[in-house]
Amino acid sequence: MLEQNVLIPFLKKFDAHPFLVKMDGKEYPIGDGEPSFTVVFHRPVPLGELMRSTSLALGEAYMRGDLEVEGDLCDALDHFLGQMGKFSTDQKALKKLLFPSVSKKNQEKEVRSHYDIGNDFYRLWLDGTMSYSCGYFLHEDDTLYQAQVNKVDYILKKLHLSQGMSLLDIGCGWGFLLIEAARKYGVRGTGITLSSEQESAFGERIRQEGLEDLLTVRRMDYRDLPSCQEKFDRAVSVGMVEHVGRGNYQEFMDCVSSALNPGGVFLLHFISALKEHPGDAWIKKYIFPGGVVPSLREIISCCAEDDFHVLDVENLRLHYSRTLRCWRKNYGKHLDEVRRMFDETFVRMWDLYLAACAATFHNGIIDLHQILMTKGIDNGLPMTRWY
């Protein structure tokens, strides 16, 4: 009864959308109107944990199975996470989690903790391109695969490529973008990643496609680009700057600038936010250690310092929400295989991650931006949005 007396009043803050709480055989309506979803507590969550980090407390309860959601999880999270401004976070107590070291060694460890889970795991629920970033749904009936092909095609068109150009992909993933660039445009491409799993898989794809003369993949930190002293005509970075860390954005842009020829074109594709925030404690502990979502204005401000002229800014937020729903659907089809790889806590954790991200893109807590820019002036580009 004590737990109910403190838990229910705490949850009543989140009354923007009505929902029902079930605990110990009793029902507690939150908000006015017909409940949109039901939260079942098999064990109550201590108030101290909720005050330290609402996100961690509820996320861990879900992972343990102490908390269940009746109804569509994505929709429930869409309603609930839209009120994240009411969450409690003790930044002092969570300092090491929210503000970790941005050293090369630590960031490599953080990146590998996520992307080196295993290629076999990612193959279960990504599409055939092995693209782990926002798709681009040109048509209502586009499949996930088609949306990822569309996305890469859209980016390559924005880069205004031509045969013989050189292209640098910072955070190249499993390499589909560079393979398409080499196939369709005849460019010479270099991809860099901190993930050994991605490096290995991309290298194998290069050999399978017979593109050894055009493509190279390296495991290296973006901060080592200046020492390489290589210059490229074009650069692209898709879903990587979120791992750079607040305070390192200018250095990231400096390093990109150092690798571009004058007049070179750079496309930056990244998850963004309206304002600066240290990040969500649960996501940082279990999914993306060290990950920080930059604000759009932070990145735009950094562009000017390296004489990057912004040509275009586009928000693809709803495309990412749909992409995540597709990933979650695929993930749900392969739960038996996932359970053979990992324990039930991991299975529930990853499902929560995919559903929560789909929700937060849908309700606008986070956005997805593409910024197209040139290093200095390039008057040879078309005057219209040619892509």
Catalytic residue list: 357
**3-class secondary structure for the chain?**
CHHHHHHHHHHCCCCCCCEEEEECCEEEEECCCCCCCEEEECCCCCHHHHHHEHHHHHHHHHHHCCEEEECCHHHHHHHHHCCHHHCCECCCCCHHHHCCCCCHHHHHHHHHHHHCCCHHHHHHHCCCCCCCCCCCCCCCCCCHHHHHHHHHHHHHHHHCCCCCCEEEEECCCCCHHHHHHHHHHCCEEEEEECCHHHHHHHHHHHHHHCCCCCEEEEECCHHHHHHHCCCEEEEEEECCHHHCCCCCHHHHHHHHHHHEEEEEEEEEEEEEECCCCCCCHHHHHHCCCCCCCCEHHHHHHHHHHCCEEEEEEEECHHHHHHHHHHHHHHHHHCHHHHHHHCCHHHHHHHHHHHHHHHHHHHCCCCEEEEEEEEECCCCCCCCCCCC
